[in-house]
Amino acid sequence: MAFKIKKDDIKRFRADYDNRRDSHVIENTVTKNGVRNASFNWHSIQDNDPHFSIDLKTGDVADQKQSGRCWMFAALNTMRHEMQQKYNLPDDFELSQSYQFFWDKFEKANYFYENVLKTAHKATDSRKVAWLMAEPQNDGGQWDMLCALIEKYGVMPKSAMPESFNSNNSRGIDSVLNNKLRHDAVILRKMVNEDHASQDELDAKRTTMLNEVYRMLAYAFGEPSTHFDFEYRTKKDNEYHRDANLTPREFFKKYIGWNLNDYVSIIQAPTADKKYHKTYTIDMLGNVVGGRQIKHLNLPMDEFKDLAIKQLKHGESVWFGSDVVQYSETKLGIMALNTYDYNALFDMDLDMTKADALDYGQSMMDHAMVLTGVDIVDGKPTKWKVENSWGNKVGHKGYFVMSDDWMDKYCYQIVINKKYLSDKQRKVQAQDPIVLKPWDPMGTLA
C-alpha cells in the first residue's frame, strides 16, 4: 500500500521543528548565508596548513577556463614538470591543451560513429543507445585517452597552438557538435536498417561526415600546424634556444621522451562488483578507434596511496582523479572531510561508505588534478599537495591541500609508472581486463 503524507504528519513535523531551541537561529543563518557557508568549519583551515615534507618543484598553475579539459591539463602538467627541470624552462611554460582538444573532439566523433554502427540494430530506447545519444561527446576524458592521442598526434608547446575563444569556452562548440553527431546518427542508422547499405557506402558517408567535423573544429580552435619552431629562454641564465621545423611527434620524442606504456591507471573502487587485484575496462568508452584501451587495476587504499608516495619520493608528480565537489572549499584551496559539517548543521547522519556512494550515484570521479607533494608524519601521510588547473586566484596560488581522509573517501584514480609496482601488482596489471557496463562509475570522464 502506498505511503501518503497526512496532515497530522505535517503537524508533528512542525511541532518537532518548533520544539528545537536552535531551529529559528539556524533557519536565519542558512537562509541568509547558504548551506555551505553556514556549515563551514573554521578549524579546517588550521588542520590543512599548506606545508609538506615532500614538495616537488613545479611551475605556475594553468587555467582550463570554462572548459572540461582537466584531464588534459593534469596529464600535460605531469609532463611539463619534468621538462621544466630538465631544460630550465620558465615557470609559465605550458604544453598546448588546445592541440589535444582539437584532436580529441575529432577522434571522439569517429568513435561515436563506430558505436552508432555497432548498436544500429538496437532500438533507440535501449539503454545502450539512449546512453550513447545522451551525450555523443563532451570535454572529459581519462589518462589512457590522452595517451592514445599523444601516440597518434604527438604534443606541441602552447606557443605553437595557443588558446582560442572556443577552447576556453567550450559550451558553444560542444552543443553544435553534439547536434551534428546526433544528426549523423539518424543517417547512419537509416543506412543500416532501411537502406541495407554496404560497408563501402557506410565508410564513404562516414568520411564525408568526418570531413565536416574537421572543418567545424578548425573554425572553432584553429587548424593545428603540422610543423613548428620551439623557441624559449632558460629561466636561470636567460639563454635563447630555437629548434626549427619540428613535428608534434618529434617534439614529444625529443623533449618528453616518455614510454607511455610504462604509465598505468590504478583505481580505488571498493564496490562488491569489482574485486581487488583485478583489471577492468569500460564498454564503449574511448576516443581513438583502434587506439589505446582504457584499463584500470583496482587496488586497496593502502596499496593505492603507497604507490603515489613512492612516485612522489622519486620526484615524479602523479595524475589523479577524484570527486572534487565533495567537501571542497575552492577559494581557500581545501579538500577535507571536516570542511563542512552538514551532519551537525541539520542534526542528522548523512554519511555513506565509499562503496555505497559509488553504487547509489552520490559520488563519482569528476575532476583530474596532479599530486605534487605529501606530508609524511610518523611514516604516514596526513595531507597531500594538489596542483589544480583553475588558475592562480584560488587556493594557494592555484594549489590545494587535500587531507588524507578526503583522499580515502573521494579519490578514485591515480596514474603510476609500472616500475613502482610490486611484482604481484605488475603481474595482475598485465591481466586481460573485465568489461564493465558503459554507465559504470569507473567510466566517468574527468
- Residue 87 CA to residue 103 CA, distance in Å, equals 27
Coil, helix or strand at residue 359? helix
Question: Residue 384 corresponds to which cell in the numbers above?
Answer: 597531500
Give me the catalytic one of 41, 70, 81, 411.
Answer: 70
Q: Identify the bridge partners of residue 169 per DSSP, sorted by sequence position.
A: 66
Give me the catalytic one of 77, 110, 147, 367.
Answer: 367
* Residue 147 bears catalytic tag: no
CA angle 293, 64, 364 (to 5 degrees): 50
| Helical segments of 270-374, H only | 301-313, 342-346, 354-359
Contact 411, 261 (CB under 8 A): no
Contact 262, 291 (CB under 8 A): no
By DSSP bridging, strand 263-267 and strand 240-246 are unpaired
Give me the catalytic one of 77, 166, 298, 388.
Answer: 388
Coil, helix or strand at residue 250? helix
Distances in Å between the Cα of 282 and the Cα atoms of 26, 264, 395, 436, 438 are: 45, 15, 34, 5, 6
- Residue 328 CA to residue 341 CA, distance in Å, equals 12
* Residue 70 bears catalytic tag: yes
- CB count in 10 Å sphere of residue 110: 18
Coil, helix or strand at residue 383? strand
Helix (H) or strand (E) holding 318: strand 318-322
Residue matched to cell numbers 623557441: 231
Question: Residue 306 corresponds to which cell in the numbers above?
Answer: 603507497
Contact 280, 441 (CB under 8 A): no
Cβ-based burial of 338 (10 A; exposed 0-12, middle 13-18, buried ≥19): middle
Give catalytic residue positions: 70, 367, 388
